[in-house]
Amino acid sequence: MNSLDKVLLNVLEAVGNTPMVRLQRIPSDEGAQVALKLESMNPGGSAKDRIALSLIAAAEEEGRLRRGGTIVEATAGNTGIALAMAAAVRGYHALFFVPDKMSRDKIRLLQAYGAEVRVVKDVPREDPENYQNLARMAAEQMDNAAYMGQFELAANPMAHYRTTGPEIWRQAGHALAAFVAGAGTGGTISGVGQYLKEQDPSIQIVGADPVGSIFTGPFQPFRIEGMGEDYYPSTLDTRVVDRWAAVSDDEAFTMAKRLAREEGLLVGGSTGAMVVVALQTAAKLPPDRLVVALAADTGRNYLSGFFAE
């Protein structure tokens, strides 16, 4: 074999096949073991790298996106970062609408990839000024531009059904008792959950949710990024979720800091929330079982946010 055959064609080929790491110092001595699926190890730093490739492929196949065109999306950051990275490789322009609660670190990352970023007020979805509505309208008004539609298109959960789910099943196997993820678009928990349920219906699919998200209670503002919503996206299949558990901002951010300082895992606040729920879930299971939580993104996105507090 030619040694060049081992060299990837471009950075997009490095997406997926992320490692799974067991927690050592944070879990209690009782209950099941807890492991993190390190999606932060994707080249763009999050699980959204997977759906970016799927969304772009769908737009190309449907003829909505052509050579030299513009990718337009509404994003809380990670999907935008993934799409911006892919756009740089594929030769597309990129325009993103982001809510003003998004971290400055993520905005700078988007700009570093050459994307145009428009920061807008974080308002409810029914408001015409909502970032999703603005992004969709902008794409309609531009020539050769495609709205990616991470909140609407089946290409989002299907990416996780085809890749993330099978990876987790191969890595955890029959020891897997539960999978914990958050839901923003709901693509990850829906796609992975469907795949795992098909392998073993007894596996618990648990949704971690910010206090204030409508998945677990009445809506109110919250600070955790990338998970929780004020409506139910069409990409979220609630039928595969066995239960939801609410986590406060403080609980999530405290756990994220602990993961960095006690486990050497630099992750975002949403991952902190998922680990809180994973530990609660593991405490009720036997020690020979495994609970897997998603490490959705890297903590490098939040160094000027909660890590600076």
Query: What's the confidence (pLDDT) of residue 159?
Result: 98
Q: What is the DSSP string of 224-265?
A: -SSS--SS--TT--GGG--EEEEE-HHHHHHHHHHHHHHH--
**271 falls in which pLDDT band (50, 70, 90)?**
very high
User: Could you give the CA distance from residue 10 to residue 12 in angstroms, rounded to a whole number?
Assistant: 6
**222 falls in which pLDDT band (50, 70, 90)?**
very high
> Rg (Cα) of the chain, in Å, rounded?
19
Which among 6, 37, 48, 121 is annotated as catalytic? 48
Mean pLDDT, range 97-124, rounded to an integer: 92
Interacting residues of 26 by C-beta distance below 8 A, sequence separation 6+: 34, 258, 259, 262, 263, 275, 279
Q: Which amino acid is at 15?
A: V
Classified as helix, coil or strand, 73 is: strand
Residue 1 pLDDT > 60: no
Enter the tokens of residue 297. Answer: 């993104």
Span 147-192, pLDDT tens digits: 999 999 999 999 999 999 999 999 998 999 999 999 999 999 999 9
C-alpha distances in angstroms, 44 versus 79, 88, 162, 190, 300?
A: 9, 12, 19, 22, 11
**120 falls in which pLDDT band (50, 70, 90)?**
very high
257 flagged as catalytic: no
291 beta partners: 34, 178
Mean pLDDT, range 5-23, rounded to an integer: 95
User: Could you give the CA distance from residue 112 to residue 136 in angstroms, rounded to a whole number?
Assistant: 23
Asked whether 82 and 51 are in contact (CB, 8 A), the reply is yes
Which helix (H) or strand (E) covers residue 87, if one does?
A: helix 78-90
Span 29-71, pLDDT tens digits: 789 999 999 999 999 999 999 999 999 999 999 999 999 999 9
Structural domains in the chain plus CATH codes? 3-42+154-308 (3.40.50.1100), 48-147 (3.40.50.1100)
Query: What's the confidence (pLDDT) of residue 57?
Result: 96
Asked whether 146 and 71 are in contact (CB, 8 A), the reply is yes
**104 falls in which pLDDT band (50, 70, 90)?**
confident
